[in-house]
Chain A
Amino acid sequence: MVSNTQKKFISFSLLSITIFFLVFASTLYAQTPPPVSHTVSISASVGSAVVIVPGGGTSGGVILPQTAVSFSGYAYPNAQVSLLKQGELKTTVKADSTGYFSITLEEKYNSNILYSLFAQDVSGNRSLLLNYPMVVQVGYITELSGIRFAPTIVIDKSQVRVGDYLTVNGYALPQNDMEVNIVGVANKVFTLTSSSDGSYKIVLPLTDLPRGAYSIYINYKNDTRVSKLIKFTIGESNIFFTDASSSIPGDCNADKKIDLIDFSILAFWYGKPNPPKCVDTNGDGIINLIDFSILAFYWTG
C-alpha cells in the first residue's frame, strides 16, 4: 500500500520531470542542426613567391608570398559560375561538362571577407547565393572545396487548376537522384533522376492535393541544401507564368532579380499598414523582419 505522503511525493516528482521536458527538452530537440550530406572543406597552404614592385621605385622589388582564395566544386554542366567579393562581382568561370568548376582570386590583405558564389545553368536560370565568410591571411592560399549547388528549378504555372498537372524543369549534375518537394496545405515528394546532360523535366500530377497555397523546391537525395522555393496555388484555373510576372517573392518590378531596389521598396513599407501584395513576401499583411529575411533568402544582387 502506498501512503498518501508517498503518493504526493511521486506526483510532485512526475510534475517536476514533466515541466523539465516541456520547457527544455523541446528546445534541445529543436536546436539540433540538420545533417548535410556534402561537406565543404577549407585548408590553407603557403603561397609561392611573387615579386611586387613598390610604386615609384626604380630598382628591385619586395618579394612576398602569394595570397589568394580558391573555390572548387560542382554546379551544372557548362554553367556560368560567378564569384562576388563583399557583394561585388569579381569573376565568372565556366563549369565543364561534368559541372566541375574552380575559381582562384588573388588577395592582398589579412581580413574577414564575405565571398559569394552563384551559378547560372545553360538556360539562364540562377541558383541561390552561396555565401562563404572567410578569414584570409597574407602569404597563404586558402582553398574551399566540395561546394555543390542545389539544382535549378522552374515551374510553368503560378496557379494550377484542381486535379491538373505542374511541369517542373531545370538543371542538375548528370545522372543524379533528386527529390521534388511540395509543401503547403498538404505535402508530397516526387523522385527523379537527371539526364546525362544534367537537364530534368517532370510533369507532376497534383490530383490528390487540395486547394491552397504551396511551395515547391528540389534537392539532391539525402542533401539538405535545397533550391529556391517557388510559390504556387491550387485553385479554379490554370495561370501560367509570363515575362511580366515573377515567381520570386518580393520581386515587385518583375526583373527576376532581388537586389537593393527590392530591398528599398520593402523598406518603404516597413511598419506601414496595407502593403502591396508583391511586397508582403509571407502574406501576413505586415512588413517586418521576417519579410526581409525572405528577401535575403532570394537575394541575387
Chain B
Amino acid sequence: MKTFIKINLIFILFLTLFAGKVFAADISVSVPPTVNVGDTFEALINMNSDGVPINSADIVLNFDQSLMSFSGYKTDNTFIGIWLDSPHEKNGSIYMSGIIPGGVSGLYDPSKKGLGPIPLVRLLFSAKTSGNAVFSFSKTEILEHNGSGTALPHSEIDGNTVIENNIDPKANSNPRENILDKEKPEPFNITFLEASMFSRTPSMIIFKANDAGSGIKEYKMNIGGSMWTNVQSPYPISKVLLSQTITIRAYDFAGNFQDSSITIPGLLAPSLLWTLLALFVILCILCYKLVLYKR
C-alpha cells in the first residue's frame, strides 16, 4: 500500500513539475549560445500564441547583473507598437509592457509552413564577466485581442548563454562595433491636448520618439530655459498667462539625444495683453496729471 501511495505521489509531482509544458502557447527568450566578455548581444523575446490573436504584453525578465548589464533595446523587426512602459532595468530585472494595436496571431513567412512566433522586442546586454548567464521570466501577462483583454494561458521558456573570456586578438577585434549606437533618436513631434476635450483629464503634452539603435531610455523637459527635469508622456501641463516654449529631449541608451519644442499659447492673447498694457500706461499718466492738477 505504501508503495502504491509513493508511486501516486511521484506521479502527481511529475505532472505538477511539467504543468508548464501542457500549454500550446509559449513565450521564450532567445540568446546566442556563447558570447565573449565585452560583447553586446541581443536577447529576442518571442511569443508563440498558437494562432490566437494577442495585443498586449506585460513582461518582467530577470538576468544576472554580476555577469552582464542592460544596454538598451531595439524595436525594428519586432511588433510591440506602443510602449506603456518601455524596457528599463531595475535591480536585475527588465520591466516592459506595451500593446500591438490591432493585434497579431503570428508571423507570416512564405518560406515556412503555418504562422511563426511573434518577435516582441530585442533587448541588448553587454557581457561583463565570464559565466553561465541565465535569463528567466518572473512575470508574463499576455492578453488576447478579443475586446475583453482575456489573459492567454501560456508557458515560459527561459534562455541562457555562456559568456567566455576569449582574449584571442584575431577573433572579432571590435565586436561592439556592430551594435554600438552612434545615431541620435529620430525627430519627433510634441502635441498639446486641451483639457476641455475630455472630462477631468488635465491638459497635457504627448510625445513619442523612436530610436533604432538602442531604444529610448528617458525624456527630459525644459520650460523656457529652466533646468532639465525627467518626464514621461503624457505630461500634464497648464496654460499660464503668457505663452511658454517647452523643449523635450529624448535620450537613447547610448547617450545620444534629439530635441523637439512646442510653444503653448498663453491664456492672454498678445493683442489683449498689449491693450491692457496700453490702458495701464494711460491710467498711470491720468493719475499723475490728476495729482499735479490738485496741487
Q: Which residues of A contact B (CB under 8 A)?
A: 5, 8-9, 12-13, 16, 19-20, 23-24, 27-28, 30-31, 33, 42-44, 87, 111-112, 114, 116, 128-135, 137, 140, 142, 144, 215, 228-229, 252-253, 260-261, 263-265, 267-270, 276, 278-279, 282, 289-299, 301
* Residues of chain A lying within 8 A (CB to CB) of residue B100: 131, 296
Contact: A294 with B149, CB < 8 Å?
A: yes
The residue of chain B having its C-beta at the shortest distance from the C-beta of A270 within the complex is B84
* Cross-interface CB contact of A268 among B12, B103, B236, cutoff 8 Å: B236
Contacts A24-B15, A296-B102 given; does A289 touch B97 at CB 8 Å? yes
Give Cα distance in the complex from A135 to B122, angstroms. Answer: 17
Q: Please state if B77 and A261 are interface contacts (CB–CB under 8 Å).
A: no
User: What chain A residues lie within 8 Å of B149 (beta carbons)?
Assistant: 282, 289-294
Query: How many positions in chain B have a CB within 8 Å of any CB in the partner chain?
Result: 65
Instruction: Report the nearest B residue to A24, measured CB to CB.
Output: B22
Q: Is B288 an interface residue (CB 8 A)?
A: no
Residue B148 at the chain A interface, CB threshold 8 Å: yes
Residue of A nearest to B4 (CB): A9
Task: For A279, list chain B residues within 8 Å (CB).
Answer: 198, 201
Residues of A within 8 A of B106 (CB): 133
Chain B residue numbers with a CB within 8 Å of A263 are 82, 99
B147 within 8 A of A: yes
Tell me whether B157 is interfacial, beta carbon within 8 Å: no
Q: Min CB distance, B73 to chain A, in Å? A: 16
In the complex the two chains form, is A296's CB within 8 Å of B110's CB? Answer: no
What would be 17 A-B contacts, judged by CB atoms less than 8 Å apart?
A27-B22, A31-B153, A42-B110, A43-B110, A87-B101, A128-B102, A131-B103, A131-B104, A132-B108, A252-B198, A260-B208, A276-B200, A289-B149, A292-B99, A294-B147, A297-B146, A298-B147
Write out the residue numbers on chain B whose beta carbons fall within 8 Å of the beta carbon of A299.
101-102
B104: which of A30, A133, A260, A261 is its contact (CB, 8 Å)?
A133
A135 and B110 contact, CB distance less than 8 A: yes
Within 51-87 of B, Cβ neighbours of A (below 8 Å) are at: 51-52, 55-56, 58, 76-79, 81-82, 84
Asked whether, in the complex, the Cβ of A135 is within 8 Å of the Cβ of B22, the reply is no
A134 to B198 CA separation, bound complex (whole angstroms): 37
Contact B153–A44 (Cβ < 8 Å): no
Verify A112–B199 contact, CB threshold 8 A: no
**Contact B153 A30, beta carbon cutoff 8 Å:** yes
Per the bound structure, the CA–CA distance linking A116 and B56 in Å amounts to: 17
C-alpha spacing A270/B8, complex, angstroms: 47
Residues of A within 8 A of B144 (CB): 293
Interface centre among B51, B103, B144 (most CB of A within 10 A): B103
- Least CB distance from A211 to B in Å reads 21
Chain A nearest CB from B213 CB (Å) reads 16
Residues of A within 8 A of B199 (CB): 252, 276, 278
In the bound complex, CA of A295 to CA of B138 (Å) = 26
B18 (CB) vs chain A CBs: closest residue:
A24
Residues of B within 8 A of A12 (CB): 4-5, 8
Closest to B24 in A: A31
- Using A42-B110, A132-B108, A264-B193 as known contacts, say yes or no to A16 and B11 having CB atoms under 8 A apart: yes
Tell whether B107 is near chain A: CB-to-CB under 8 Å: yes
